[in-house]
């Protein structure tokens, strides 16, 4: 993947938000730029919060910010969280620490090079406690074969709200491409166990990610019927297991923008859950996200 997604700016977001859906608020989730160019390495991600906070966005757009902090700092992460909160001026609403790791090197592309088992590391758990003391949820992105780590962390820290991104990323790319059925069976087993942890919420998205088995190439622009047909069973299974009040749809833009259009993606979500109750649909499209990031 090239860095075309990185050119997604505020004006691009506003164009997407005006493409046909009634979007009342959005949350910005860390994207690794623009960091500070000098000063202590641990504090450089504060530059991203400063940048987003300085944008002239309409009311409701990027109403909350989920920032990055390196939880490998342990209890020393407190200084980073202090700086992120100061930079956010009330808009810091979560921290994301991605731990996606795989024994195959081609699937390890995060710049800070996570290692196996980070969410079981006592130093990382100490840092998560610092996040929890501030009432902040922790966004997590990992591959499905790592979900046992999140299960262990959620059980160890029952008062911490964890948010699992991208449906837990059942990995069917590269060396796993010919193991799709096995991968999804294992994914469902781990997700069922995770759903029993009441402090875990689920983001449903990343539906254009090739690593999750999406069949569409760039430039094909699948319509909402195609997206819904391909993902409906897995999405509805997730909603059934976790409950709508613990699930939220995500755009995963600008990454998914390389393959799908914003309006088509949200139309696909609407198609998948059209049969659910109004209350369940409200949770999926608004309530869970608002409760998680914007309610306090």
| Token pair belonging to 14 | 């506003």
Q: Where are the domains of the chain?
A: 24-97+105-136, 139-296
Per-residue confidence at 3, pLDDT binned at 50, 70, 90? low
Dist CA 137 CA 220 (whole Å): 36
Does the pLDDT value for residue 49 go beyond 50? yes
Per-residue confidence at 7, pLDDT binned at 50, 70, 90? confident
- The mean pLDDT value for 144-150 works out to 98
Does the pLDDT value for residue 228 go beyond 80? yes
- The mean pLDDT value for 226-241 works out to 98
Of residues 95, 134, 98, 94, the one with CA closest to residue 114? 98
At 52 the three-state DSSP class reads helix
In contact, 204 and 244? CB cutoff 8 Å: no
Does the pLDDT value for residue 1 go beyond 50? no
| Token pair belonging to 32 | 């690794």
pLDDT in tens, 173-210: 899 999 999 999 999 999 999 999 999 999 999 999 88
Does the pLDDT value for residue 288 go beyond 90? yes
CA distance readout (Å), 256 to 25, 72, 87, 115: 19, 29, 28, 26
Q: Which CATH architecture has domain 139-296?
A: Alpha-Beta Barrel (3.20)
Per-residue confidence at 144, pLDDT binned at 50, 70, 90? very high
What's the chain's average pLDDT? 95
pTM of the model: 0.96
Of residues 209, 185, 195, the one with CA closest to residue 246? 195
CA distance readout (Å), 275 to 14, 232, 269: 30, 12, 12
Does the pLDDT value for residue 171 go beyond 90? yes
At 64 the three-state DSSP class reads strand
pLDDT of residue 33: 84
For residue 27, what is the enclosing H or E element?
Answer: strand 27-29
| Token pair belonging to 279 | 């209350």
Dist CA 96 CA 113 (whole Å): 15
Give the CA count within 13 Å in the CB-facing half-sphere of 204: 32
Does the pLDDT value for residue 74 go beyond 80? yes
For residue 262, what is the enclosing H or E element?
Answer: helix 262-272
In contact, 48 and 31? CB cutoff 8 Å: yes
Strand boundaries in 80-204, DSSP class E: 92-96, 138-140, 162-164, 200-204
Angle of helix 224-242 versus helix 180-195 axis, rounded to 10:
40
194: left (phi over 0), alpha (psi -120 to 50) or beta: alpha
> Residue 98: is it exposed, middle or buried by C-beta count within 10 angstroms (0-12/13-18/19+)?
middle
pLDDT of residue 5: 52
pLDDT of residue 2: 47
């Amino acid at each position: 993947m090239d860095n075309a997604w990185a050119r997604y700016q505020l004006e691009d977001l506003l164009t997407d938000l005006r493409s046909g859906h009634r979007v009342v608020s959005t949350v910005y989730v860390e994207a690794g730029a623009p960091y500070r160019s000098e000063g202590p390495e641990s504090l450089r991600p504060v530059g991203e919060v400063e940048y987003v906070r300085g944008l002239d966005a309409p009311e409701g757009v990027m109403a909350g910010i989920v920032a990055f902090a390196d939880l490998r700092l342990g209890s020393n992460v407190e200084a980073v969280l202090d700086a992120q909160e100061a930079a956010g001026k009330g808009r810091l609403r979560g921290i994301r620490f991605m731990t996606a790791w795989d024994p195959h090197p081609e699937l390890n592309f995060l710049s800070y090079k996570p290692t196996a088992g980070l969410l079981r590391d006592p130093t990382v758990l100490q840092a998560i406690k610092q996040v929890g003391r501030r009432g902040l949820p922790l966004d997590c992105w990992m591959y499905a074969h790592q979900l046992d780590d999140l299960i262990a962390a959620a059980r160890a820290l029952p008062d911490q709200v964890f948010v699992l991104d991208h449906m837990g990323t059942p990995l069917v790319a590269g060396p796993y491409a010919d193991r799709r059925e096995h991968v999804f069976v294992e994914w469902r087993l781990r997700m069922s166990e995770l759903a029993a942890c009441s402090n875990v919420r689920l983001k449903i998205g990343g539906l254009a990610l090739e690593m999750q088995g999406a069949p569409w190439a760039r430039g094909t622009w699948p319509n909402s019927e195609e997206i819904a047909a391909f993902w409906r069973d897995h999405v509805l299974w997730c909603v059934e297991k976790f409950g709508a009040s613990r699930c939220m749809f995500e755009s995963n833009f600008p990454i998914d923008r390389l393959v799908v259009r914003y309006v088509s993606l949200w139309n696909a979500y609407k198609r998948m859950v059209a049969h659910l109750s109004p209350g369940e649909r409200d949770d999926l499209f608004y309530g869970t996200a608002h409760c998680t990031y914007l309610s306090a």
